[in-house]
Amino acid sequence: MHWLVEILNATVAGEIRVHPDDMHAGFLRLAKRIEQIGLQGIHEPHIKHIQDKLWEMRLTGRDGIARALYVTASGKRVVDL
């Protein structure tokens, strides 16, 4: 079973979209990679386990860095907060 990356709601989707194009593209690439190989195949500096089901996605771009918090849900789902 492949992983599924979901956006929590329209507010979160809007927060992701306001990042510069290179960071937004990086988020999309990382989300696709999670769906293809799962969290176990991606490590720091891109993904960091915080606690329990809480994880952090780290993005870099020309304008600096951004971080997105997300949780793992039932099965192999990642929900971006």
Number of domains the chain contains = 1
The pLDDT of residue 32: 92
What is the average pLDDT score of the chain? 83
Close Cβ partners of 70 (under 8 Å, ≥ 6 residues apart): 54, 55, 56, 57, 78, 79, 80, 81
**What's the domain range around 73?**
4-80
User: Minimal CA–CA distance to 24: which of 55, 78, 54, 66?
Assistant: 66
Predicted TM-score (pTM) of the model is: 0.80
The pLDDT of residue 78: 63
Q: What span, in angstroms and rounded, lies between the C-alpha atoms of 22 and 74?
A: 31
Tell me what percent of the chain is helix, strand and coil, each rounded to the nearest 5: 35, 40, 25
- The mean per-residue pLDDT over the stretch 17-31 comes to 89
Q: Write the CATH number for 54.
A: 3.30.2310
